[in-house]
A and B are shown apart, each in its own frame.
Chain A
Amino acid sequence: MTVKFEEALKELEITVKKLESGETTLEEAMELFEKGVGLTKECHKLLEAAELKVTQLVGGEELAFDADNMG
């Protein structure tokens, strides 16, 4: 999850709409498709989740926070 993701998603949205507008040549359509598929992969990569990382600030330091073992 980053600003990069937001941009990639927006770009993907625009690419899809452009392709759907039907005002493209076949060559442009192929290019848009390739670009869109690339963006899709990028989005998925950015979404691929690691475990949620939770830290706790203790004395100005970030320490791992175990939400399951708290009081």
Chain B
Amino acid sequence: MNLLGQRPDVGEFRKRYKWLALVAIGLNLVLVGKLAHLQLIRYAENAAIAHDNIVHKVTLATSRGVIRDRNGVVLAASRESWNVYVVPARLDLEKTYPRLAELLGLGPIERATLEVRLREAKRVDLAALKLDPKHRIREIIVREDIARDTASALETHRATLAAVSWISVPLRYYPQKELTFHLLGYVNEVNKEDLASLPEGQKKELQPGDRVGRSGVEKAWEAFLRGQRGWKKVVIDARGNRRTAKEDVALVDAPTEQAPIPGRDVRLNIDADLVAAARKAFAGQLAGAVVAVEVKTGRLLAVYSKPGVDPNDFVTGLSQKQAEAILQNPLSPLTDKTLYEAYFPGSTMKPFHALAALGSGAVTRDSHELCEHVLLLSRTRFKCEGFHGQISMHDAIVRSCNIFFYQLGRKTTLDRMSALDAEFGFGQRGGVGLNHESPGLIPTTAWYMQHYGGFRTGFALNAAIGQGNTKVTVLQLAMAYAALANGGTLFAPQVVQSIETPVTDAGGGGIEQEFPPRMRRKLGVDAGNLEFVKKALLGVVNEEGGTAYKERTNKVVIAGKTGTAQVSRVGQKSGIDPHLIWYFNRDHAWFAGFAPYDDPEIAIAVLVEHGGGGGHNAAPIAMRMFEDWFLRIKPSHAGLPAAPDGKPQPSAMKGPAK
């Protein structure tokens, strides 16, 4: 018994209590130390993680601008589409996946491939999650642009489709399909290179899954059309639910939101009806191009290149089969034949060379030459299509006599002709800013010295009739004929009329920026000479013996010039199907003209690739377009304002036709 009344055998324990107490205190101090570390030393870091856990930045989508024609007809807009996503790490592959596959209507192979992919993604994500709790698990897109009834079927089975989501995304839609393919271009998804090539500071403007313009107006006006996405900070709990109560929103730190800037709408000078008329007129031909331009402004009324493809196919991505069909098509449907490709212009160049000759004084309006079908020049035979005898300049243009123009070329000299060609915009880009416009080629003596090591008079002779090395685009020809028609003013070709604020419930539709006609230059051409040439062009269509006389129309007074351009011969070894070689060796058919003759409004240039004679094959297309324009399209639009007044047509607001 001791003082406390304890039994003596407790003595064995006596020395131990102190140690037990020390161990308890020591271990608790470890806890205190760890707490100090977490709460005091690393407070800022943990507070930041805690904040990021609940406050998330969600992007606010922007909308791509609508492209309309001059009358408000929608050429490119966005339609609703549904994409299906799956979070593999959360997906039940035994129960949910078969149901999903069935609802999506996947074929057996597709179904198996996708399952393998999802299983692998699930395995990888779960493993990564185990190592790093902050690992963000993936969401995989399994199907794009599903049918409307598939989406509603998914909606019906929502309760049984855990880890599956379907999200509405705007998808570009081109209601005119292949008609506007080359003009508008198309959009498709950005790739890694696009994202990597973004300049610093604009990195956030594009994200995987975004679509950007790849060609045509979609590419050239991308900056206006795209808009800028915004963001908003929201509070999301650990279960992924958005919290919107007052005290939740209070946790969001400023700035809380950046509103998205919608893409601007773009209004074109193009008249979709005239483009459709071009397509109709082109129905009997395989390939070619048309450009129609407003004579007094340089605004493009129609551009059409045949064949085209449906740009809608590009938006979601082409199938292997589609891509091969397009790439193997010998008529190169991807090429914009109005301006990317340059062609021998043939006789359509004669009016300009007549002007060059008259301007230089080498020949006069009364000059005659003797056409005996063949001209021998230093053992080379230069041929004419006909046998015209003594022929005047006027008749030489009307009947397209080559011999007259050989002589004219010889007298005028190459450089004087090419100088005037350049005045009219040949050999240079017109500045339309689309689809890598070709400058074409107007050879000079210096050019021959450089490329052929010498100059021969024969070069000038060939150049005079638009052969040899002379190459122009359909667009250049249309602009040059517009300059002839308007009395000598060369305009820049303009596709876009104005940039407009997008139409929303809040209004919009106002013009933000308008593009007035842009004159390139006043041409130094004598007015009398110009009148003389125009009269000859009138004769081409309206005088008996004129090369387009048989195709004339009595409804509109048209002036113009045909052209039949020889093409570079292709042989058996060119890689072209031997059965098609006859076609590719056929001449290009041209017609360029304007109407009405007295007060010209529009100029049209038509090229029918390998169409044969220009009079027979290209002229009728232009004639039909002129007729359509003056008799049908223009009157039907008469009630409409020429330029938008801020109120688009009702049809333009509805979006794509269903």
Q: Do A and B come from one complex?
A: no
Which residues does A use to contact B, with CB under 8 Å?
A: none
Which residues does B use to contact A, with CB under 8 Å?
A: none
